[in-house]
Amino acid sequence: MTTRIQISVGFKGGQMEHRMVTIEADLDGLAFHKAPDLPQFWTVTHIVSGLSIVGGMELRADAASAMKELAASTDWERDAEEIRDDDNIEQIREDIVAAAAKYHGLVPGWAEGPTST
């Protein structure tokens, strides 16, 4: 069975651009798939929001491992705003950065940014 989800791929003309992708696997609110514009790379995505968690991984196995490790970081089946407001957001961000480093991936800007504005 093929599963497709809508992901957010960035801004185009001031509006968030969305694309449909076919996921390889999903676990506890996360999924991994080929990057829509760079299919030689793999991305782990938060299913509820469609936001990238870790991208730019060259190996499918690395994306699968990163997804499994990050699934334990928080309840990813929640809305993105709930995750950003989580008391443990700093630890979640550290886990994302650690997974990106371990699996040679890229961290999205939201995971690097401050917790408050």
Compute CA distances 30 → 6, 14, 19, 64, 111, whole Å. 13, 27, 17, 10, 15
Instruction: Tell me the C-alpha distance between 69 and 82, whole Å.
Output: 20
End-to-end CA, the chain: 42
Are 8 and 51 spatial neighbours (Cβ–Cβ below 8 Å)?
A: yes
pTM of the full structure: 0.85
For 66-99, write each residue's pLDDT tens digit: 999 999 999 999 999 999 999 999 999 999 999 9
Q: Domain residues of the chain, as ranges?
A: 3-112
